[in-house]
């Protein structure tokens, strides 16, 4: 497909037909965004490019579409490893205001978070990986693996290393 201009609509249709995987859809979305930024388009009109491509957060839109399709086919799609991986991709590429909406939806679907293991000096609740795994319906090792991936990608330390104040 190299050298061929694809629109996000082409990418999502190909995924829907089962012709490409999620990771390929995300890769193509990134390629589309990259070409947009470089101005490599089959048309020079910004209105035409807007019509055929997504200018902002293409990876997020692809992931959201795939989650929607997965949940329509299987209401427990987000309980699967594939569903969880796609959700993490969507979160990684989400617009800034999305996180509040996601938090509300997760609380609606999964219920409230478990009681924190404790609190940090800053007052933030602290959870054990086993607590998050039980809440998310996955394994503790899966939670730890993805925390490490997020830490590597964002350079933030998701493991609390300071004092833990017990819940009262």
Instruction: Show me where the domains of the chain are located.
Output: 1-94, 112-168
Instruction: Give the DSSP letter of residue 60.
Output: H
What's the predicted TM-score (pTM) here?
A: 0.47
CB 88 within 8 A of CB 98: no
Distance CA 64, CA 25 (A): 12
Higher pLDDT pick, 109 / 57: 109
| Residue for token pair 């399709």 | 69
What are the pLDDT digits (tens) for 70-80?
Answer: 888 898 888 88
User: In 3D, which of 160, 33, 9, 159 has the Cα closest to residue 93?
Assistant: 33
Distance CA 23, CA 34 (A): 16
pLDDT, position 140: 92
CB 90 within 8 A of CB 40: no
What are the pLDDT digits (tens) for 27-40?
Answer: 777 676 666 555 54
Instruction: Give the DSSP letter of residue 165.
Output: B
pLDDT at 44 over 60: no
Residue 73 main-chain phi, psi, to 5 deg: -75, -35
Which value, in Å, is the radius of gyration of the alpha carbons in the chain?
A: 19
């Amino acid at each position: 497909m190299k050298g061929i201009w694809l629109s996000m609509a082409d990418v999502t249709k190909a995924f829907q037909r089962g012709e490409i995987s999620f990771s390929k859809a995300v890769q193509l979305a990134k390629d589309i965004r990259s070409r947009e930024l470089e101005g490599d388009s089959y048309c020079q009109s910004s209105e035409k490019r807007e019509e055929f491509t997504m200018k902002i957060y293409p990876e997020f839109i692809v992931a959201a579409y795939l989650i929607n399709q997965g949940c329509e086919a299987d209401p427990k799609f987000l309980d699967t490893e594939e569903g969880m991986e796609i959700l993490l991709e969507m979160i990684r590429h989400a617009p800034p205001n999305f996180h509040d909406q996601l938090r509300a939806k997760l609380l609606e679907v999964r219920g409230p978070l478990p009681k924190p293991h404790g609190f940090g000096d800053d007052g933030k609740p602290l959870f054990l990986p086993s607590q998050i795994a039980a809440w998310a319906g996955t394994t503790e090792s899966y939670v730890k693996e993805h925390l490490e991936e997020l830490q590597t990608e964002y350079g933030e330390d998701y493991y609390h290393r300071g004092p833990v104040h017990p819940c009262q």
